[in-house]
Structure 1
Amino acid sequence: MRVWAVANQKGGVGKTTTSIALAGLLADAGKRVVVLDLDPHGSMTSYFGYDPDSLEHSIFDLFQHEGNVPEGLPWQLLLSTSHERISLLPSSTVLATLERQSSGQNGLGLVVAKSLSQLWQDFDYAIIDSPPLLGVLMVNALAASQQLVIPVQTEFLAMKGLERMVSTLAMINRSRRQALPYTIVPTMFDRRTQASLSALKLLRSDYEANLCPAMIPIDTRLRDASRAGLTPSQFDPNSRAVLAYKVLLKHLLTLSNAAQVA
């Protein structure tokens, strides 16, 4: 299994859309994918037609065992999605209480990694949709992953969120055996606006070595896919955004294959 986390310490930059788009493309290629919704807002869970306010069981259950994960529990929590090769570990709004409950408990930072170890042989990829706040949930996402994807909206304020995310990553890397590689993905790009062009220029100047070669454009087909509960590539495989996400996926696979060889 390869584990990718999608994270940024700023909301509204396209994390959930990016997570689902990548999962959809991998599933289209025949891969078995599990997606994890670690955001208490539950956007990914809602995307696939479930209500995070009313789910009786969710990924929150994994954190209720003092850092241990009972055998078989991750399997019990899996839900089906609109794609037969994508399974969902759903969020629930009760996840918002985890920070308060976790004070004084040791070992909670590795709950997701321990959970994925039980699913390791049954899925080819795990994609984690992370919350926009640094806390036990984001720490779990980063600790479990082998590759970090950072969507960044192409506008000035998003640059500040990126700076915080890179700073957080540097802190996390000090506790990892090897640094977590990351790829920055420009999202909501509109070449007609000066804001998008200026932001892209800044990204190329400051983060060229970690920048995805494609920009994800503003595309109403993404919103339509969300409304239908389908992955973007299920809804419209030839949309501008899906074509850009295909470039991102190819880039990530190249990085992953190079890392495995190394």
Structure 2
Amino acid sequence: MKVWAVANQKGGVGKTTTSIALAGLLADAGKRVVVVDLDPHGSMTSYFGHDPDALEHSCFDLFLHQGNVPQGLPKQLLHGTSHENIALLPSSTALATLERQSPGQSGLGLVIAKSLAQLWEDFDHAVIDSPPLLGVLMVNALAASQQLVIPVQTEFLAVKGLERMVTTLAMINRSRKQALPYTIVPTLFDRRTQASMSTLRVLRNTYPDHLWPAYIPVDTRLRDASRAGRTPSQFDANSRGVIAYRALLKHLLSHQPAAQVA
């Protein structure tokens, strides 16, 4: 299994859309994909038609065992989605209480890694949608992943969020055996605006070694796909956004660390 996390310490930059678009394209290609919603807001869970306020069981259940994960529990928590090749580990609002509960509990940072280990033979890819906040949930996402995708809206405040994310990643890398590779993805790009154009220039000048050279454009079809509860490529395979995400997926697959290439 290849495990990717999608994260940024700023909200509204396209994390959930990016997670679902990439998962959908992998699933279209016949890959078995599990998507993991670690955001207490539950945007990914809601996208696929499940109510994070009403779910009796969710990813939260994985954190209730002092850092251990009972055998078989991750599989019991899986939900179906609009795509036959995608399964969902859903979020619930209870995840928001983890930060208050976690002090004094050791081992909580590896819960998702341990959970995915139990699903290793059942899926080809895992895509983790992270919360926009440094805490036990983001630490879990980064600890479990082999590759990090950082969506960055092409506007000034999002660049400041990226700076915080890169600082966080440096801190996380000090506790990993090897540094986590990451790719910065410009999102919500509108070439008609000076803000998008200037932000893209800043990203290219500041992060040349980690920046995907293209961008995800503003595309209302992505929002329409969300409303329909279908992956963007299911909804409109030839939309501008999907074409861009297809190029991003090709880039990510070709730039995986050698040991992870199938």
How many correspondences in the alignment? 261
Q: What does 1:100-179 align with in structure 2 at a 5 Å threshold?
A: 100-179=100-179
**Per-residue deviation, residues 108-138 of structure 1 (Å, max 9, x unmatched):** 0000000000000010000000000000000
Q: Which residue of 2 aligns with 1:197?
A: 197
Question: CA RMSD for the aligned pairs?
Answer: 0.8
> Shift of residue 255 of structure 1?
1.2
Q: Which residue of 1 aligns with 2:237?
A: 237
Decide which moves more: 147-156 or 210-219: 210-219
Q: Which residue of 2 aligns with 1:15?
A: 15
Query: For the Cα contact (< 8 Å) 2:4–2:128, is it kept in 1?
Result: yes
Query: For the Cα contact (< 8 Å) 1:213–1:247, is it kept in 2?
Result: no
When the two structures are superposed, what TM-score results if normalisation uses the length of structure 1? Answer: 0.99
CA distance in 1, matches of 2:130, 2:61: 17
CA distance in 2, matches of 1:259, 1:220: 38
Q: Return 5+ residue gaps in structure 1 as ranges.
A: none
Query: For the Cα contact (< 8 Å) 1:10–1:132, is it kept in 2?
Result: yes
> Shift of residue 174 of structure 1?
0.1
Q: What SS does the aligned partner of 2:190 have?
A: coil
Q: Which residue of 2 aligns with 1:4?
A: 4
Query: For the Cα contact (< 8 Å) 2:2–2:260, is it kept in 1?
Result: no
CA distance in 2, matches of 1:121, 1:255: 23
- Give the AA of the match of 1:5: A
Query: For the Cα contact (< 8 Å) 1:58–1:77, is it kept in 2?
Result: yes
> Shift of residue 256 of structure 1?
1.4
CA distance in 2, matches of 1:39, 1:122: 23
Structure 1: which 4+ aligned runs deviate by more than 6 Å?
none
CA distance in 2, matches of 1:257, 1:65: 33
Q: What SS does the aligned partner of 1:208 have?
A: coil
CA distance in 2, matches of 1:82, 1:257: 31
- Give the AA of the match of 2:187: T
Query: For the Cα contact (< 8 Å) 2:34–2:88, is it kept in 1?
Result: yes
Query: For the Cα contact (< 8 Å) 2:37–2:128, is it kept in 1?
Result: yes
- Give the AA of the match of 1:112: I
**Per-residue deviation, residues 136-179 of structure 1 (Å, max 9, x unmatched):** 00000000000000000000010110000000000000000000
Q: Which residue of 2 aligns with 1:217?
A: 217
Q: How much identity, in percent, do the aligned residues show? A: 82
- Give the AA of the match of 1:177: K
Q: Which residue of 2 aligns with 1:34?
A: 34
Query: For the Cα contact (< 8 Å) 1:45–1:52, is it kept in 2?
Result: yes
Q: Does 1:71 align with 2:106?
A: no
Q: Which residue of 2 aligns with 1:99?
A: 99
Q: Return 5+ residue gaps in structure 2 as ranges.
A: none
